[in-house]
Chains A and B, each alone.
Chain A
Amino acid sequence: MADSLIAEGLEKYFNPETTAEVKAIEGTHAASYAAKLARVKVVSAYPITPQTTIVEKLSEMCASGEMEAEFIKVESEHSAMACVIGAESTGTRSFTATSSQGLALMHEELHWATGARLPVVMANVNRALGAPWNIWADQTDSLAQRDTGWIQCYAESNQEVLDMIIQAYRLAEIVMLPVMVNMDAFFLSHTTEPVALPKQELVDQFLPEYNPKYKMDINDPHAFGGLAKPDTYMELRYNIQKSMEDAHRLIPEVADEFEKVIGRNHGGLIEEYQTKDAEYLIVTSGTITGTSRIVVDQLRAQGLKLGLLKIRFFRPFPVKEVQSVLGKIKKIAVIDRNLSFGRCGIFFSELQAALYNCECRPLLNGYVAGLGGRDVTPKTIEKIVNHLIASEKGEDLIWMELNI
């Protein structure tokens, strides 16, 4: 980016009128501060690398009284999710965080949170799953939770982590569905960046107190989650889908509202970068996006009409948004730091399916790169772009920089 762009960006990010403090913090701490700013009342979590620093910071803030919340230090991630489900059932705003194996262990409870219509918000640090053990970045953990009914957002920067957790509560508590805010292991979780902490009163203005219509209440006793027979279960699932569709509509509205109050907007379900006249396009999510921006700038300077599409939300999936952008492009490269064995990159297959009903079907290549935390460098992305330009027919699965 040019210097002027950086200066403009900085002013936009660190607006002194809305910012209480600019802190140099890692992504995990951005998540902790977001929970505090959202006035979370119950935290329950279990430590797992590289999520641990979220939990440590929250413990510290709860112990010092800086954050007025119960912190229940449970014996497993399964219990962490069950605990926040219990707390949310009483109408109390709750938070948890996990990663990888921990998220996999939570799987059953992820479904429960959705079915019970509880707006839990969770930070997940995208980390590879074993075996073999690997603690580095890989999105397969959260993407494997695709069908649990959680809204899923993928952050590119520590600021986005913070802002999205606050926005997640606003969204979750309107549509009554849980939200997972994802950040890449180490590339975000343990990378220090300047983050603007918004003023508490502005966050309060943006995020009103949580007061759900239905909750566990001794003055109005009901049973929650009792047996639903085939005559009602399907309608309850229909309602969840409708709320997901509401979320689709509301995500950009919530982002606009956040911008009005706090002054930052990271985009809606997608973010376009240099797409206007683009003939070629890279599609990314998470931290690969930041690296790709540099490559787009460099190749554009050499005259290549290259653009970038960042997928910010995986659920609900931005079908109509990608249709409107991708339909105009000649050739598209989807970069996935994840894999569905027996198929291809997961964002790729979702995108491909979304384009099936498009009149104009561009050439689509799926590149799997950076699994288990392997670096995806500007050089990797350049290789992808060159391969894309030379392609005459779309390919679902192209492995990048494989050492075999």
Chain B
Amino acid sequence: MSQMKFEIPEIELMKSGHVACPGCGASMAMRYALKALGPKTMVVIPACCWAIIDGPNPCSVNGVPVFHCAFETAAITATGIKAGLKRQGKDDISVLAWAGDGGTFDIGLQAISGAAERNEDIIYVCYDNEAYMNTGIQRSSATPWGAWTTTTPVKNPKERPKKDIVDILLAHHIPYVATASVAYPDDFIRKMQKAKSIRGMKFIHVLSPCPPGWKSQAEESVHISRLAVHSNVFPLYEVDDGYRYTISIQPKKVPVRDYLKYQGRFKHLSEEQIELIQQAADRKWDILMKKVEMGELFMQN
């Protein structure tokens, strides 16, 4: 990490008046994203919480053009907008696809895979609240192992691990992939600015705490986000050109228990189950470190 003081841009493109729940990670994330990208930005929002958060017709909380699109089409609608702008000589406008985990991991996976394979010049941010929160907390393929949702009740919680969306995007050989957290706005904003400066497909995966869905306290959202980073549940890193891995924030190796305990969705878990989550987090970190090493090896050669 650079020791230089990072200035968060003062510009506030996301105005007051949004209709997100208190403590919504996705609303914080949009504020930072627009600070980073500035007014020469267009936002594409599929069905997700943000389809509501932005405000009902004709209101919009964002001071940039917003196009609401169908659930599975964020990546491709953004692609179409970029193509239209390019033909009008307005290629300097950033087009931001802004989708939840359902619209990215599940129903939108085909369109994002297509856009990534073609290396479309868009920024895709997935704000991941780990379930279908806008429809009322149903499991998605981003829901972590063991979590409660309304479709994975306590008697039968999620039996499969969270899909690794970052690895899926990396398999498309795109120039920039990163994870981000609302607990680290400077890191998030820097990554968004970097994404803006790169041509081709950029993918940023933001963990987005959801107090109603996670059964957590609104005032704890940033704290929980920080614990996710430091427990290796959601490590912060970036990958340039598909192989150069850089860890953004060194984790303090907090036990996953400390991250889980703030969230009612995990309260049914036994000690043994929490231990399994701990092992999975440790393994994920070890694998990540191997990837960092491999990237360094490639750079040396």
Contacts and interface: CB of A to CB of B under 8 A. Distances in A.
Interface residues of A, number: 40
20 contacts: A41-B84, A41-B87, A82-B77, A85-B73, A86-B80, A86-B81, A86-B82, A86-B84, A89-B80, A90-B90, A109-B70, A109-B73, A112-B70, A216-B81, A218-B40, A221-B65, A223-B65, A223-B68, A225-B57, A227-B55
Contacts of B110: 75-76, 79
A92 B118 CA distance: 21
Nearest to A109: B70
Interface stretch (A65-73, A139-147, A357-365): A65-73
A79 B76 contact: yes
Interface string B57-93: 1111011111111101100111111111111101001
A74 interface: yes
B84 A223 contact: no
A225 B68 contact: yes
B296 interface: no
Contacts of B44: 86
Contact of B79 (A83, A88, A89): A83
A165 B76 CA distance: 24
Contact of A221 (B51, B62, B86): B62
B77 A42 contact: no
B66 A223 contact: yes
Interface in A23-82: 41-42, 44, 69-70, 72-76, 78-79, 82
A75 B72 CA distance: 13
A283 interface: no
B69 A221 contact: no
B130 interface: no
Contact of A42 (B67, B87, B113): B87
A11 B196 CA distance: 57
Given A82-B69, A108-B70, A228-B57, A69 B79 contact: no
B114 interface: yes
Interface string B176-187: 000000000000
B100 to A, nearest CB: 16
A163 to B, nearest CB: 25
Interface in B36-58: 39-42, 44, 51-52, 54-58
A86 B51 CA distance: 16
Q: 6 closest Cβ contacts across the A-B interface?
A: A86-B80, A75-B114, A223-B60, A90-B84, A92-B84, A225-B68
Nearest to A80: B76
Given A78-B72, A83-B80, 19 more contacts: A41-B87, A42-B84, A83-B77, A83-B79, A85-B77, A87-B80, A87-B84, A88-B80, A89-B81, A90-B81, A92-B88, A216-B42, A218-B65, A218-B93, A221-B65, A222-B66, A223-B57, A225-B68, A226-B57
A318 interface: no
Interface of A: 41-42, 44, 69-70, 72-76, 78-79, 82-92, 94, 108-109, 112, 216-218, 221-229, 232
Contact of A223 (B39, B54, B87): B54
A217 B64 CA distance: 8
Main secondary structure of the interface of B (DSSP, over half): mixed
B104 to A, nearest CB: 15
B59 A223 contact: yes
B280 interface: no
Nearest to A41: B87
B87 A92 contact: yes
A91 B84 CA distance: 7
Contacts of B64: 218, 221
Interface of B: 39-42, 44, 51-52, 54-60, 62-70, 72-73, 76-88, 90, 93, 110-111, 113-114, 117-118
A44 B115 CA distance: 13
A224 B78 CA distance: 14
Nearest to A69: B87
Contacts of B58: 222-223, 226
A79 B111 contact: yes
A89 B80 CA distance: 9
B189 to A, nearest CB: 20
Contact of A74 (B67, B76, B88): B76
Given A72-B80, A87-B80, A218-B39, A82 B65 contact: no
A210 B174 CA distance: 34
A117 B44 CA distance: 17
Contact of B84 (A74, A94, A218, A225): A94
B52 to A, nearest CB: 6
A75 B108 CA distance: 12
A232 B39 CA distance: 29
Contact of A83 (B41, B60, B67, B83): B83
Contacts of A229: 56-57
A72 B84 CA distance: 11
Contacts of A90: 81, 84-85, 88, 90
Contacts of A87: 80-81, 83-84, 87
Contacts of A86: 44, 67, 69, 76-84
B57 A232 contact: yes
B56 A222 contact: no
B66 A224 contact: yes
A222 B65 contact: yes
Scoring B55, B78, B114, B117 by chain A CB atoms within 10 A of each residue's CB, the highest score goes to B114
